[in-house]
Amino acid sequence: MKEGQFVGPVRVLVTGGSGLLGKAIEHVVMNEGLKREGEEWIFLSSKDADLVDLKQTRDVFEKYRPTHVIHLAAKVGGLFQHMKENLHFLRDNLRINDNLLQTAHEMDVVKVVSCLSSCIFPDKTTYPIDETMIHNGPPHDSNFGYSYAKRMIDVQNRGYFQQHGRHYTAAIPTNVVGPYDNFNIENGHVLSALINRTHKAKVEGTSLTVCGTGAARRQFIYSLDVGRLLVWVLREYEEIEPIILSVGEEDEISIKDAVEMIAEALDFKGEIKYDTSLSDGQLRKTASNAKLRRYRPDFNFTPVKEAIKLTCDWFLANYDIARK
């Protein structure tokens, strides 16, 4: 259902509102004029409700009575944490998503947009990957728990539509970079962990060691771009099938390219070493943004170099509060 066709006061609940994407949505809604008159936006963190727990999920929905939900909350981690704890990632995310979607249905929420991730796509596949290919084979072994839990959101959305006519859908951002990410060296996302690592090497006057060969390739998207697109998905996108939110295939870069951009942004002049004994993760997962481009041919993506520079600047300016 298009939000415009919904009659009555709109209350949008954003789960995972304290994270990288939650903060990006908050920024674009509150500071870029995307908030419409009469709309209420509520941003939740795990402190408001642990969504693994059904009662807490129901209580927070009772409290705010949302009409629309952007569901970002997830147990997320870096490559090495996923490799160690696939079962935890599977069970917590299955519960979070089931609690969220069923409670939304019971409380008559008219639209839910959940976030999947490009790492849930089949490991052995043809490129570019598109939205029709999510279930076409096992995901990469390193994060199978998280991936299968995320894939089930798509299955659930189909079920809620078939059985109850619900317009619950999902967006699939590729690798996001931006302020408020987790910059933890062990558990952070690849670029943010690298930003922290590079900063540390600069401050300590050491060389920088990058995990893996640097050959893996990724499409990085700036968090505020994803925020703008998620608000559009909530308001305008009517399909149940997911939509990939990504820069074009031609904008994919290698980790080595990204490391050089970070070094430039942070003015790091030391030696850069690659520890080739460590895993690169999936070597590529190139995604097609053709569907997005059909809907939004004119959307202007922030160039990756600028996105990295803005993230580095934010990290330095907010070093004390940054998750690390």
Ligand X SMILES: NC(=O)c1ccc[n+]([C@@H]2O[C@H](COP(=O)([O-])OP(=O)(O)OC[C@H]3O[C@@H](n4cnc5c(N)ncnc54)[C@H](OP(=O)(O)O)[C@@H]3O)[C@@H](O)[C@H]2O)c1
List active site positions: 146
Quote the CA–CA distance of 33 and 191 in Å, as a whole number. Answer: 29
For residue 254, the cross-strand partners are 217
Range 52-91, binding ligand X (CB under 6 A): 52, 72-76
Range 193-232, binding ligand X (CB under 6 A): none
CB 285 within 8 A of CB 146: no
Angle between helices 86-106 and 54-64 (to 10 degrees): 40
Q: CB of 33: closest distance to ligand X in angstroms?
A: 22
Q: Which of 46, 187, 254, 288 binds ligand X (CB under 6 A)?
A: 46
How many Cβ atoms are within 10 Å of 127's Cβ, its own excluded? 14
Q: Which of 10, 13, 22, 82 binds ligand X (CB under 6 A)?
A: 22
Q: CB of 24: closest distance to ligand X in angstroms?
A: 8
For residue 182, the cross-strand partners are 323
Q: Which of 6, 9, 36, 45 binds ligand X (CB under 6 A)?
A: 45
Give the number of residues in contact with ligand X, rule: CB under 6 A: 27
3-class DSSP assignment, residue 157: helix
- Verify binding: residue 175, ligand X, rule CB under 6 A: yes
CB 287 within 8 A of CB 244: yes
CB 202 within 8 A of CB 266: yes
Of 176 and 262, which has the nearer Cβ to ligand X? 176
Q: CB of 234: closest distance to ligand X in angstroms?
A: 14
Of 201 and 222, which has the nearer Cβ to ligand X? 222
DSSP string, 17-37: TTSHHHHHHHHHHHHSS-SPT
- Verify binding: residue 173, ligand X, rule CB under 6 A: yes
Element (H, E) at 221: strand 220-222
* CA 240, chain centre distance (Å): 19
- Single out the residue of 16, 7, 119 nearest to residue 70, CA to CA: 16
Q: CB of 102: closest distance to ligand X in angstroms?
A: 15
Range 90-129, binding ligand X (CB under 6 A): 96, 115, 117
- Verify binding: residue 19, ligand X, rule CB under 6 A: yes
Q: Which of 21, 60, 211, 258 binds ligand X (CB under 6 A)?
A: 21
The contact set with ligand X (CB under 6 A) reads 15-22, 45-47, 50-52, 72-76, 96, 115, 117, 173, 175-176, 182, 189
